[in-house]
Amino acid sequence: MTAQQLKNSILQMAVQGKLVPQDPNDEPASVLLERIRAEKERLIKEKKIKREKNPSVIFKGADNTPYEKIGDEVRSLADEVPFDIPDSWEWVRLGNISSYAETKQKVNATSADPSIWGLDLEDIEKGGRLLEHKTVGERKAVGDKTVFAKGDILYSKLRPYLLKILVAPDDGICTPEIVPFRVYGGIDPNYIVNYLKSPYVDNLINSITYGVKMPRVGTETMTSLLVPVPPLEEQRRIVEKIDEVASAVSAYDVAYQKTETLNSAFPEALKKSILQEAVQGKLVPQDPSDEPAEALLERIRAEKQRLIKEGKIKKDKYESVIFRRDNSHYEKRGSEEVCIDDEIPFEIPENWAWCRFETATLYVTDYVANGSFASLRENVKTYKEENYALMVKTQDFSNDFTRGLTYTDQKGFDYLQKSRLYGGELMLSNIGASIGKAFIVPAMNIRMTLAPNAIVVKCLDAIMTEYLRYFILSYYGQKMLSDFTAGTAMPKFSKTQLRSALIPVPPYSEQRRIIEKIKQLDVLVCTL
């Protein structure tokens, strides 16, 4: 149960007479309503208010169910009354106990006293908490405003679902979207405010508002609203109890939000932990019959040599080879050998291998690999409507490639030869808030090329691609990318940095087992 649900439950209990006990010594609400009728008659005689054309009187019939008399007409309210109330309470229309429908005093803000309170809707938080108390002068208010007095109930008729309802702590003027009104007979205005915020009223009012973009509640809707009226003393006890539990509800809200944050973060944290176990060789058992990782790296080198001969990729002048000697890790580039023990982040199984990211892949490229920024601007035009080729962005994966797509024409596609996509490539976001997100490009049977702000990686096959994606998403992979971007104003890492990253490579067969296990566990994590 959320804090709001708890608050709603408390309010609903309050207006049904279930929050505080009834006291048989309390003056019944029927006596209060008689005094209100007498008070209104006096105000009519003094010409302070107008007589209602068809006043409503609600009473219990011989069958103990509520009836309403309007003029000479009497009708049953059994189907309209939403819930039972204690015997000492009474049902009444809001218009019969308040000034809601009465004409409000208006004033132009420019002629109002600049030192008085000037209330706007944005000054009231959702739920009714007052955020700001500015004078007319401070606000530089203009236009027609409605006058209200201290103790009036202030009700926002615009977007009533926001529950911007409170008792005015001072005199002032307000936007016409706020209706000030008072209640008669000494009825506690805070009780009425709590009733107007109760789930029953909230649901009822919002079901009959008018206007789509700017929904409002009409005057007739409000004046005809059925209100359960407790005895005065019980009203005060109800308000005191609601105020008393408010701090406990707030504390509950803090605890609930913390729990929700932990619950929402837990699955993601668990996924990263699983991936970290995977890239350290701790997720699935090793099989001594597996072909070692070095054999896989040799096949990748052979495939790269083939692509070099075909002119599809360029030869690396200083290819990295990492090996172990005397229980230490060394890296050879050209004729130079360097001990890299200080770079090794954790131990891996014996049949695994450490290598640079570029060694485990066929190529790593991006949009700017095609030419200078000036030449890219000259040769590549982008379009929001469908064109010759799709320019794939990392945002497209979140949108399932259904909206916000970007295209280029044939000239642009021909120019972007070094970053064409065919499906099955690993794609990484390398800039901004989405940095480190990793996706596998789907095969969509359309022309595709890479958009800016992403890096694409081509691997030996689908198994290697998926393993590297999981590696990127592991704790170690994400920290590695974070280290690349440390100290930069705009988080960004380059393809050069990614190529140089140190990664653990399992045997090919173990990669298969790792991927299968992760998918199995992912199903379980998603059920948490």
**Domain count of the chain?**
2
- Backbone dihedral angles phi then psi of residue 303, each to the nearest 5 degrees: -65, -40
Between CA 19 and CA 21 the distance in angstroms is 7
Task: Give the pLDDT score at 51.
Answer: 86
Structural domain includes residue 108? yes
Between CA 462 and CA 437 the distance in angstroms is 18
Contact 390, 446 (CB under 8 A): yes
Q: 378: left (phi > 0), else alpha (psi -120 to 50), else beta?
A: alpha
Task: Give the pLDDT score at 195.
Answer: 96
- Backbone dihedral angles phi then psi of residue 395, each to the nearest 5 degrees: -65, -25
Between CA 528 and CA 514 the distance in angstroms is 21
Residue 28 has pLDDT above 70, yes or no: yes
Structural domain includes residue 116? yes
Task: Give the pLDDT score at 52.
Answer: 82
Higher pLDDT among residues 2 and 320, named by residue = 320
What single DSSP character describes residue 104?
A: P
Residue 224 has pLDDT above 90, yes or no: yes
Query: Is there a single domain that holds both residue 369 and residue 230?
Result: no
Structural domain includes residue 281? no
Q: What is the mean pLDDT of the chain?
A: 91
Task: Give the pLDDT score at 441.
Answer: 96
Contact 316, 301 (CB under 8 A): no
Return the minimum-mean-pLDDT range out of 36-40, 243-247, 338-342. Answer: 243-247
pLDDT grade for 264, boundaries at 50, 70 and 90: low
This prediction has a pTM of 0.55
Higher pLDDT among residues 249 and 452, named by residue = 452
The interaxial angle of helices 508-526 and 293-309, nearest 10 deg, is: 100
Query: Is there a single domain that holds both residue 80 and residue 221?
Result: yes
Which amino acid makes up residue 115? Answer: S
Give SS3 for 331: strand
Residue 252 has pLDDT above 80, yes or no: no
Q: What percent of the chain has pLDDT over 70?
A: 97
Measure Cα distances from 502 to 319, 437, 439, 506 in Å: 14, 18, 20, 13
Q: Per-residue pLDDT tens for 359-408?
A: 999 999 999 999 999 999 999 999 999 999 999 999 999 889 999 999 99
- Range of the structural domain that residue 15 is part of: 3-235
Contact 355, 505 (CB under 8 A): yes
Residue 522 has pLDDT above 90, yes or no: no
What would the mean pLDDT of 468-473 be, rounded to a whole number?
A: 94
Q: Per-residue pLDDT tens for 150-167?
A: 999 999 999 999 999 999
Contact 369, 495 (CB under 8 A): yes
> ∠ CA(119), CA(120), CA(125), 5° rounding?
100
Query: Is there a single domain that holds both residue 74 and residue 223?
Result: yes
Question: Which CATH number does the domain housing residue 149 bear?
Answer: 3.90.220.20
Higher pLDDT among residues 252 and 115, named by residue = 115
Residue 262 has pLDDT above 70, yes or no: no
Strand order in the sheet with 363-366: 363-366, 454-458, 426-429, 438-440
Cα 168 to its chain centre, rounded Å, is: 32
* 15 class by beta-carbon count within 10 Å (0-12 exposed, 13-18 middle, 19+ buried): buried
Q: 518: left (phi > 0), else alpha (psi -120 to 50), else beta?
A: alpha
Name the pairing type of β-strands 448-450 and 389-392.
parallel
Q: Give the end of a domain, one of 427, 458, 489.
A: 458
What single DSSP character describes residue 524?
A: H
Higher pLDDT among residues 195 and 526, named by residue = 195
What single DSSP character describes residue 124?
A: B
Q: Count other C-beta atoms under 10 Å from residue 133's C-beta.
A: 13
CB contact set of 384 (below 8 Å; sequence gap of 6+):
405, 406, 407
DSSP strand E in 469-516: where? 502-505
Return the minimum-mean-pLDDT range out of 51-65, 225-239, 325-339, 342-356. Answer: 51-65
Q: Count other C-beta atoms under 10 Å from residue 239's C-beta.
A: 19
Residue 78 has pLDDT above 70, yes or no: yes
Most confident of 72-86, 185-199, 249-263: 185-199
pLDDT grade for 263, boundaries at 50, 70 and 90: low
Structural domain includes residue 64? yes
Higher pLDDT among residues 245 and 196, named by residue = 196
What single DSSP character describes residue 53?
A: S
Contact 26, 233 (CB under 8 A): yes
Between CA 33 and CA 30 the distance in angstroms is 5
Structural domain includes residue 66? yes
Question: 16: which 2 tokens?
Answer: 């049904």
- Give the gyration radius of the chain's Cα atoms: 36
Task: Give the pLDDT score at 523.
Answer: 79
What would the mean pLDDT of 218-235 be, rounded to a whole number?
A: 95
Which amino acid makes up residue 22? Answer: Q
Between CA 154 and CA 219 the distance in angstroms is 14
DSSP 391-415: EE-THHHHTTTSSS-EEE-HHHHHH
Between CA 527 and CA 375 the distance in angstroms is 50
What single DSSP character describes residue 349?
A: -
What count of Cα atoms within 13 Å lies in the side-chain half-sphere of residue 132?
Answer: 12
Q: Give the end of a domain, one of 200, 235, 270.
A: 235
DSSP strand E in 49-129: where? 56-60, 66-70, 73-76, 90-93, 106-108, 117-119
Structural domain includes residue 510? no
Q: Give the end of a domain, one of 235, 252, 280.
A: 235
Between CA 270 and CA 7 the distance in angstroms is 33
pLDDT grade for 261, boundaries at 50, 70 and 90: low
Q: Which residue has the tokens 């566990």?
A: 521
Task: Give the pLDDT score at 501.
Answer: 94
**C-alpha closest to that of 490 among 406, 427, 434:** 434
Q: Count other C-beta atoms under 10 Å from residue 339's C-beta.
A: 12
Task: Give the pLDDT score at 267.
Answer: 64
- Backbone dihedral angles phi then psi of residue 453, each to the nearest 5 degrees: 65, 35
Structural domain includes residue 176? yes
Structural domain includes residue 82? yes
